C-alpha cells in the first residue's frame, strides 16, 4: 500500500470506530487485477449505486439520465438483474405521475435492521424534479414490502434539488442525504417524517472553483466547454453515528459535523454552519463508506484508485486499476470484509465528450477484500 501524508487543517480529529456490516454474494468472474473481483456486469444500462444486505443480497440502481433506460432498482440474482421490489415500481414512463413509481433513482443503501433505502431524486437527465415525485422508500427485505415512502416539502427538497446519497441512523431515528445540485444536507426524522435542509450555500457543500478536476490531463468539462462544479455528493456516517462526513465531488476537501446539531431541528442554521469541521485535502471521490473499524473508503476518481483513510487521518492507496475503476461510484461494506464498488463511467458519458458516448461496456459492480 502506498502511504500518503494527509495535508489539511491543523486540527486533526480522528475518524470514529464501529459500523454496520453485511455479508457478500459469491462473485461470478474475476477481472484482470487479482485483487478486484467482478460481482455483476451490465452491457446496456448505466448503474450508480450498490447495496449489500445483512444476509448477503446485492442490489443496484439505474438513474434515468440518458434515453437508454429500463428499470430503476434491481436485485442481482445468479448474475441477472431482477426488478425490485417489483415490476410495477420499475414501470415508469414519461407522462406518468411518478408518485408510486421510480422516476430517477440515485442511490440504494441496506441498513443493519433489514431494510433497503432507495433515493429517488426524480431528476430525469439531472433536470428539475419531475412532478414533485422525489422521495425516499424504506423497503422491508424480509417480505420485499414498501413499508414507508418519505416525501419532502419545497423548503427541504424543491424542484431544483437533486438528492443524492443517503445514510441511516436507526439508533436515533434519522437519515441524512446530500443535495448535489444546490449544495446542502437534507436531515430526515424517520419516525415523524419531518425534514430540514441545512448548510445550503455553506462553503463546505460548495465545490471549490479553484480546483481543476481532471482526467488524463484534461479538465472535466461539458460538451459546450463549460466546467461543471458538483457540490455536496459523497456522505458517510461514523460507526458510532456521532459524525456525518461529506464532501463536494469536484474538489478534494472533506468535512464533518457532529450529528447532535443536525438532529435538533431547533439548532439555528448559522450554528450548524459554524460547527462544521474542515478535515483538509484528500482526493476527489463520488461516494464514500465506513467499515466497522472506523476506516473511511474513497474512490480516487482522477487516478482510478480506491483509498482508505484510517482513524488517524492517514490515507492509503489500496489499489489502482485504470482498466476497471472507471469512475468508482458507490460503496457497501459486507460482513465478511469486502468493499463492494459500483463503476459508472460518468466521465465517458456523451455529456462530457462533445456528445460522443465513450463508454467502455460493460458497467460493473466489483468487490475488494479489505
Span of 196-200, 221-225, 255-259, 299-303 with lowest mean pLDDT = 221-225
What pLDDT, in 10s, does the model give residues 136-158? 999 999 999 999 999 999 999 99
The arithmetic mean of pLDDT across residues 250-272, rounded, is: 98
Give the mean pLDDT of the chain.
Answer: 91
How far apart are the C-alpha atoms of 311 and 289, rounded to whole Å?
A: 13
Candidates 158, 71, 170, 67; CA nearest to 115 is: 170
Give the residue, 8 or 297, on which the prediction is more confident. Answer: 297
The arithmetic mean of pLDDT across residues 183-192, rounded, is: 98
User: Residue 314: which residues within 8 A CB-CB, separation 6 or more?
Assistant: 3, 4, 5, 6
What pLDDT, in 10s, does the model give residues 299-322? 999 999 999 999 999 999 999 999
How far apart are the C-alpha atoms of 16 and 245, rounded to whole Å?
A: 10
> What integer pLDDT is reported at residue 23 of this predicted model?
31
In contact, 288 and 107? CB cutoff 8 Å: no
The CATH number covering residue 228 comes to 2.120.10.30
The string of DSSP codes covering 39-90 is: EEEESSS----EEE-TTS-EEEE--S-SS----SEEEEETTEEEESS-TTTT
3-class DSSP state for residue 348?
A: helix
| pLDDT value at 190 more than 60 | yes
| pLDDT value at 194 more than 50 | yes
| pLDDT value at 350 more than 70 | yes
> What integer pLDDT is reported at residue 201 of this predicted model?
87
Percentage of the chain lying above the pLDDT 70 cut: 91
User: Residue 261: which residues within 8 A CB-CB, separation 6 or more?
Assistant: 267, 271, 272, 275
CB crowding 93-113: b at 16 or more within 10 Å, else e: eeeeebeebbbbbbbbbbbee
pLDDT interval class at 5 (50, 70, 90): very low
The C-alpha angle 159, 163, 164, rounded to 5 degrees, equals 150
With left for phi above 0 and alpha for psi between -120 and 50, is residue 323 left, alpha or beta? alpha
At residue 330, what are phi and psi to the nearest 5 degrees? -125, 165
Q: Which domain holds residue 85?
A: 2-369
In contact, 353 and 345? CB cutoff 8 Å: no
With left for phi above 0 and alpha for psi between -120 and 50, is residue 95 left, alpha or beta? left
pTM of the full structure: 0.91
The arithmetic mean of pLDDT across residues 242-256, rounded, is: 98
The arithmetic mean of pLDDT across residues 179-183, rounded, is: 93
> What integer pLDDT is reported at residue 32 of this predicted model?
54
> What integer pLDDT is reported at residue 14 of this predicted model?
55
How far apart are the C-alpha atoms of 241 and 244, rounded to whole Å?
A: 7
* Residues β-bridged to residue 117: 109, 138
What pLDDT, in 10s, does the model give residues 26-55? 334 445 555 999 999 999 999 999 999 999
User: Residue 52: which residues within 8 A CB-CB, separation 6 or more?
Assistant: 22, 23, 24, 25, 58, 59, 110, 332, 333, 334, 340
Domain count, the chain: 1
| pLDDT value at 22 more than 50 | no
With left for phi above 0 and alpha for psi between -120 and 50, is residue 223 left, alpha or beta? alpha
| pLDDT value at 17 more than 90 | no
> What integer pLDDT is reported at residue 366 of this predicted model?
98
What pLDDT, in 10s, does the model give residues 50-101? 999 999 999 999 999 999 999 999 999 999 999 999 999 999 999 999 999 9
Amino acid at each position: 500500500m502506498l502511504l500518503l501524508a494527509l495535508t489539511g487543517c491543523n486540527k486533526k480529529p480522528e475518524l470514529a470506530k464501529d459500523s454496520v456490516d453485511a455479508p457478500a454474494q459469491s462473485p461470478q468472474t474475476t477481472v484482470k487485477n487479482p485483487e478486484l473481483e467482478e460481482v455483476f456486469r451490465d452491457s446496456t444500462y448505466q448503474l450508480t449505486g450498490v447495496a449489500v444486505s445483512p444476509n448477503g443480497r446485492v442490489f443496484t440502481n439505474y438513474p434515468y439520465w440518458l434515453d437508454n433506460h429500463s428499470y430503476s432498482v434491481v436485485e442481482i440474482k445468479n448474475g441477472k438483474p431482477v426488478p425490485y421490489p417489483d415490476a410495477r415500481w420499475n414501470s415508469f414512463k414519461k407522462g406518468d405521475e411518478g408518485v408510486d413509481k421510480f422516476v430517477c433513482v440515485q442511490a440504494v443503501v441496506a441498513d443493519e435492521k433489514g431494510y433497503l433505502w432507495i433515493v429517488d431524486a426524480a431528476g430525469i437527465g439531472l433536470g428539475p424534479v419531475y412532478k414533485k415525485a422525489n422521495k425516499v422508500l424504506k423497503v422491508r427485505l424480509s417480505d420485499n414490502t414498501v413499508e414507508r415512502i418519505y416525501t419532502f416539502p419545497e423548503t427541504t427538497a424543491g424542484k431544483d434539488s437533486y438528492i443524492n446519497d443517503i445514510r441511516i441512523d436507526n439508533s436515533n431515528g434519522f437519515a441524512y442525504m446530500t443535495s448535489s445540485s444546490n449544495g446542502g444536507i437534507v436531515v430526515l426524522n424517520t419516525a415523524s417524517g419531518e425534514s430540514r435542509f441545512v448548510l445550503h450555500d455553506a462553503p463546505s457543500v460548495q465545490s471549490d472553483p479553484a480546483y481543476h478536476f481532471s482526467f488524463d490531463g484534461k479538465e472535466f468539462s461539458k460538451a459546450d466547454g463549460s466546467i461543471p462544479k458538483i457540490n455536496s455528493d459523497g456522505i458517510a456516517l461514523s460507526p458510532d453515528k456521532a459524525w456525518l462526513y461529506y464532501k463536494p465531488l469536484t474538489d478534494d476537501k472533506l468535512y464533518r459535523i457532529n450529528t447532535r446539531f443536525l438532529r435538533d431541528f431547533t439548532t439555528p442554521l448559522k450554528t450548524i454552519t459554524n460547527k462544521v469541521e474542515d478535515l483538509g485535502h484528500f482526493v476527489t471521490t463520488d461516494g464514500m463508506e465506513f467499515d466497522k473499524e472506523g476506516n473511511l473508503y474513497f474512490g480516487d476518481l482522477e487516478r482510478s484508485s480506491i483509498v482508505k483513510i484510517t482513524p488517524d487521518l492517514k490515507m492509503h492507496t489500496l489499489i489502482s486499476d485504470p482498466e476497471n475503476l472507471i469512475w468508482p461510484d458507490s460503496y457497501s461494506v459486507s460482513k465478511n470484509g469486502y468493499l463492494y464498488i459500483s463503476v459508472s463511467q460518468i466521465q465517458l458519458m456523451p455529456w462530457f465528450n462533445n456528445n460522443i458516448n465513450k463508454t467502455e461496456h460493460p458497467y460493473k459492480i466489483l468487490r475488494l477484500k479489505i
